[in-house]
Amino acid sequence: MEDWQKNGSPPTIGRQMQEWMESDFVGRAFELHLIEEYIARLELRDERIINIHGTGGIGKTSLLGRCRTLARKHGARYAELNMKDMVPNPGQVYLRLLTQLGLPAPHTDKQGEDVWANWDIVNELAERHRIVLAIDHYEAAGLVDQWLREQALPKLHTNILIIVAGRYPLAGRWRLSSAWQRLIVPLPLKELSYEETCAYLQRSGIQQEQAMDAIWLRTFGHPLVLSLAVPLARHNRIFDPSRTLLPLDDIMDLWLQEITDTELRQLVMAASIPRTFNLETLSLLLENELPVTRFEELIRLSFVSQSSRGWNIHELVRETLQHSFRRRMPDTYDKLNAKALQIFSARIRNRIANKQDITQEVAEVVTFSDNPVLRAHFRHTSWSQNVIERFRPDNMPELLSYLERRMYSGKGYKIVCSDPDSATDFSYTFTAEQGLLRLKAFDIPGMHRHGAELKILRNPEGRMIGLLAEIPIHSRSLKHLTRAPVTSAYFKQLPPAILQSMRTSEEDSIATYMLTVDVEDPEDQELRSDMIRMQFGCMLSGRIVVTSPPPLDYYRMACISLGFREVPGAVHYDYDGVTPASTYMLDTRTDKIPELLAFLAGPQDIDKHVHVVKNNLPLLSFTQREQEVAERLIKGETNRQIAGALYISEAAVKKHVQSMLQKTGLRNRTQLAKTILEHN
């Protein structure tokens, strides 16, 4: 009672909820700093509108709650208008604003526009107090948008900061005027980082590292999904991804609220099949010419964004859509998957014939892989805004600066990723020394003398943040490669005749040695995406690619999953003098590309890669992966042994065994093994 009397307001349930929300708030340091700078020093700024935008559940309303606290901290008046909770007309907005600011409503019987055209009372308050006007759920503004833009906001005092929060950035007429552009500060919201997610979970009572990693991998740090995962983790003591199911259907309904009709919802489902899409891709996928107007509706959705290669659905939204699609319409889902794979395979063949880059198309094919390692690593792969460019001699000072930063970073790394289809998590930890091993073979003078090809990675600000180095194998480079640490092991085991065949001119070189691919922060998902992009550029150059990465599971599994095969007898100890490091080779010459694609895509590419098992039953169509499982099944290996040998999950092994049982009409794996052994 005493606290109530001191604060002047009763201890309501809503007030308690607000306190909990504020105590649970983590992250958004940059956004909060920017907003506070405007609240505290508005007179030094030209801008007057901060536009917070992001998909549903990303935390826009929670951030506005912190804006209220910041306004009070600096003695500003705060008013918040929720467009979702009011009749979207100017009169309602005007009266609600007056109520929020504690100002009297006009006493008049008039119903015309002039009732809410007089802003003198608000501006008089702004003369004495700074005002922060927050408008939430702006996507529901309707016709009020035009009134605010053309009549209300231009009349407000410059001592008023307006914060507009909604799913979409202010666009259309807001952007047609250069004056409006100068007034608006765009502030897009993304998911919480791994560190911010862990801080939130620890504050919520979840301390176990394994549980925090699992939740991070299931939520991508999305605030709303994260808040739903916490009580489940508390209840189950540990978040078991194979058993703990998030209520994603409810979240999907939130995301799809902005979709107006069934046809558009079906189009969104189809667009979730490829990682990147455009109008042409969707028309081919649906086997029907998609109207441009429909496509425009699709790409205007808040969870769809444009990239350099087309458009993408927000990854967590995409996975949730796919999960729902696969469960509700499995046959249609499988048909569209097969069709998408066919489309991208055809594009690869066409681009190879025209000697064009196929990196993007191969990255799409990998998303259909049956390998959980590939799916886990490519789950976080997107086409970033960073740029890959060829190294030039005048880049040498920044290359040396990059290497110096890396050498003295003194930081260990932890890389976590997961495959949602098989509920398999992968976690890799590197010491500071291990994090630098990929630079062990980076010998600048030697590479320069022997024709090394370097590529550097730049961020949008132009700073070097990564590199890739390879040396084409030919007469001029062989002497160096056969003697240098790391690379020499491969050439020592080659028969003289093959070694002699590699003594070609630079123009006729058919092989290359990929020395290193490195980024300054491997924990950053975007930079790991860039690492894969750079490697694909090397892998898909139409040559034989040889590489010997550090002897760590992360690199070994990555190589094997991408189709590299270990070279017998090419083991060395050059990284640390103790641990044996293997050498791997991948043939990506033009005639070998279909074989690589078949490996990457897995059993989905059924038309080309069916293995027939003949017996006294009807002919059986076993996929390539099922055949591999069958070969180990007849040896008596367990699911765990098969999974380890083929680098797939135990869940995937069970799925393949069940598929073979259905095809043969047999009842158990013993009968299946016996039948295969007798008739294959």
Lowest mean pLDDT segment, chosen from 178-182, 224-228, 447-451, 626-630: 447-451
- Of 155, 173, 188, the residue at which a domain comes to its end is 188
Q: Give the lowest-confidence range in 49-58, 105-114, 132-141, 370-379.
A: 105-114
**Rounded-to-5 percentages of helix, strand, coil across the chain:** 50, 15, 35
Whole-number average pLDDT of the chain: 81
Domain end among 231, 246, 261: 246
502 and 530 co-located in one domain: yes
671 and 578 in one domain? no
Is 375 a domain residue? no
Angle made by CA atoms 425, 427, 431, in degrees to the nearest 5: 180
The predicted-structure confidence for 645-673, as pLDDT tens digits, reads as follows: 777 778 888 888 887 887 676 777 877 87
Tens of pLDDT along 605-618?
A: 323 332 333 333 33
CATH number, domain of 8, equals 3.40.50.300
- 230/89 same-domain check: no
What is the domain count for the chain?
A: 5
Q: Are residues 571 and 641 in the same domain?
A: no
Residue 505 lies in a domain: yes
Q: What is the arrangement of strands in the sheet containing 77-82, beginning at the earlier edge strand? A: 77-82, 131-136, 160-166, 49-53, 184-188
User: In what helix (H) or strand (E) does residue 465 lie, and over which residues does it extend?
Assistant: strand 464-473
In a domain, 603, yes or no: no
Does any domain span residue 420?
Answer: yes
Q: Give the pair of three-digit tokens for residue 565.
A: 């095969």
Rounded to whole angstroms, how far apart are CA atoms 457 and 390? 9
CA 643 to CA 447: how far, in whole Å?
Answer: 40
Q: Write down the pLDDT at residue 382.
A: 58
Q: Rounded to 5 degrees, what are φ and ψ at 607?
A: -55, -40
Residues 143 and 21 in one domain: yes
Among 368, 396, 411, give the residue marking a domain's end: 368
- 169 in any annotated domain: yes
Burial letters for 18-30: b for 16+ Cβ neighbours within 10 Å, e otherwise? eeeeeeebbbbee
Question: 446 in a domain, yes or no?
Answer: yes
Query: Model's pTM, two decimal places?
Result: 0.64
Same domain, residue pair 524 and 398: yes
* Rounded average pLDDT over 149-175: 90
Q: Domain for residue 374, yes or no?
A: no
Q: Are residues 569 and 620 in the same domain?
A: no
Are 453 and 528 in a shared domain? yes
Same structural domain, 63 and 36: yes
CA dist., res. 502 & res. 512, Å (int): 10
> Is 600 within the bounds of a domain?
no
Clarify whether residues 213 and 277 are in a common domain: no
**Does one domain contain both 637 and 570?**
no
Say what percent of the chain tops pLDDT 70: 86
Question: Do 226 and 275 have their domain in common?
Answer: no
Runs of H (alpha helix) within 563-636: 593-601, 624-633
Structure token digits, residue 175: 């952007």
> How far apart, in whole angstroms, are the C-alpha atoms of residue 366 and residue 359?
11
Q: Which domain holds residue 43?
A: 2-188
pLDDT computed for residue 133 by the predictor: 95
What CATH number is given to the structural domain containing 636? 1.10.10.10
Q: Report the CATH number at residue 443.
A: 3.40.630.30
- Strands 424-430, 453-458: pairing kind: unpaired
